[in-house]
């Protein structure tokens, strides 16, 4: 809208237009060059431009995760690698939403690793999650014992092993 048109509006109409703009912004939309765009789309476009990437380099599943990260107001710099699979990007997002530093992620009692330096396979992600889970502090000694008992039950017994009390 040009200034001349705006000047002709009554104070009530100006107030109504301003309130509509505020409501649109609070809903995640802004007006750019006379078109409404989501704030997330602007953030994604800027992040891709800063990284020297274009959206055509990414697969639709990756783009979906990138927009989800933008809407969650996460650091998009970590997602600007088209070699990362969508599952890898989701793993990064999970860790960022949990408040963890993805460039120095604890995956053991003393071991740390960056999960944004290079692409990870699903198997590598699964192993990292397992290590992180084992390294988390337990609620109590009893909970730790129950977990070890479950792990021992998963291991198949050899035929020559002695049976525990109560087993047939």
Residue range 121-160, pLDDT digits in tens: 999 999 998 888 877 665 556 666 777 777 777 766 555 5
Question: Does residue 88 register a pLDDT over 60?
Answer: yes
Residue range 68-80, pLDDT digits in tens: 999 999 999 999 9
Domain ranges for the chain? 33-152
Q: Find the mean pLDDT for residues 14-26.
A: 80
pTM exceeds cut of 0.75: no
pLDDT at 70: 93
Instruction: Spell out the SS3 assignment of the chain.
Output: CCHHHHHCCCHHHHHHHHHHHHHHHHCCEEEECCEEEEHHHHHHHHHHHHHCCCHHHCCHHHHHHHHHHHHCCCCHHHHCCCCCCHHHHHHHHHHHHCCCCCCCEECCCCCEECCCCCCCCHHHHHHHHHHHHHHCCCCCHHHHHHHHHHHHHHCCCCCCCCCCCCCC
């Amino acid at each position: 809208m040009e200034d001349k048109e705006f000047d002709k509006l009554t104070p009530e109409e100006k107030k109504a237009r301003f309130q509509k703009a505020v409501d649109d912004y609070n809903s995640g939309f802004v007006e750019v060059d006379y078109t409404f765009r989501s704030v997330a789309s602007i953030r994604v476009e800027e992040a891709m431009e800063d990284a020297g990437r274009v959206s055509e380099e990414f697969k639709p599943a990756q783009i979906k995760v990138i927009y989800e990260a933008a809407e969650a107001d996460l650091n998009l710099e970590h997602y600007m690698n088209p070699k990362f699979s969508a599952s890898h990007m989701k793993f990064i997002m999970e860790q960022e939403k949990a408040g963890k530093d993805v460039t120095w992620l604890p995956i053991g009692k003393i071991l740390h690793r960056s999960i944004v330096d290079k692409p990870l396979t699903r198997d590598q992600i699964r192993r990292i999650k397992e290590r992180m889970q084992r390294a988390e502090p337990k609620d109590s000694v009893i909970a730790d014992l129950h977990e070890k008992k479950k792990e021992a039950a998963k291991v198949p017994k050899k035929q020559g092993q002695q049976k525990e009390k109560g087993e047939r």
